[in-house]
Copies of this chain bind each other. A is one copy, B any other.
Amino acid sequence: MKIQRYKHDNDISWTLGATLTIELLKCRPKQISRVFFNSRLEQSDSIENLITLCNQHNIPIEPNDKIFNILSPKGNCYVIAEFRKYTGKLSDTSHIVLVNPSDMGNLGTILRTAVGFGIQNVAVIRPGVDCFDPKAIRASMGALFHVEIEYFDSIKSYCAKFPNHLRYAFMLSKSAKSLTDNKFQEPCSLIFGNEASGLPGEYADFCKPVIIKHSSNIDSLNLSMAVGIAIFEYTRNNW
């Protein structure tokens, strides 16, 4: 089979690197079709671990330098897993909802932080970046595979599927409650807008607006920072 650069429309994607591959093996071994290693890969404990995991799951592992030139031309990557993309399904617990996220680095960092604080359900309202792009996988440090990520065509279809979730929209609004004063009820949805435009004002009509208060010396917090701080605060008594 011919290897091509990653495309959003393809059914397969790749983890570029040993750490990401091991996370995929731990969380979603059935999705993996094969694992490749580079001839420059040196023997080490983590590689032994990788081979053991592949064998346990009957996943072929083979040398192939060419794929590294295509998928990771800058080098510095010695292990790649090829896997079939899958569709996440949100459970009835609390969710992070990202409305039109446009930056893969932000999405990855958000997933890493969400997993770090025990949030394993993330909704993305389209249009939104592709979570299976190798760049998003890398930014998540593999946390992606621990999370159920479900895409929705609109916030309306998300709300229709989870009518009983209490919705907290992080936005500027006269009626917004400060994050540190807000008492979250469960299960809930913590909803965040696009990097450049935030959430439209009408979200205040069907959500409780929440604000992370900060100095006027900045326009806004970085999106992943805002989401991370909100998750930290929401889960602060769990750790």
Residues of A at under 8 Å CB distance from B? 105, 109, 112-113, 115-118, 141, 143, 146, 178, 180, 212-215, 217-219, 221-222, 224-225, 228-229, 232-233, 236, 239
Are A116 and B221 touching (Cβ within 8 A)?
yes
- Distance to closest chain B CB from A117 (angstroms): 6
- Distance to closest chain B CB from A51 (angstroms): 21
**Chain B residue contacts of A222, Cβ below 8 A:** 109, 112-113
Are B228 and A116 touching (Cβ within 8 A)?
no
Are B143 and A225 touching (Cβ within 8 A)?
no
**Chain B residue contacts of A217, Cβ below 8 A:** 115-116, 143, 146
Copies in the complex: 2
**Chain B residue contacts of A180, Cβ below 8 A:** 236, 239
14 contacts between A and B (CB under 8 A): A112-B218, A112-B221, A113-B222, A115-B215, A115-B217, A115-B218, A116-B214, A116-B217, A117-B214, A117-B215, A141-B219, A178-B239, A228-B229, A229-B232
* Assembly CA distance A218 to B109 (angstroms): 12
Q: Which residue of B lies closest to A228 (CB)?
A: B225
**Chain B residue contacts of A117, Cβ below 8 A:** 214-215
Beyond contacts A221-B228, A228-B229: 15 other A-B pairs, Cβ-Cβ < 8 A, are A112-B225, A113-B222, A115-B218, A116-B214, A116-B215, A116-B218, A116-B221, A118-B215, A141-B218, A143-B217, A178-B239, A180-B236, A212-B232, A214-B239, A228-B228
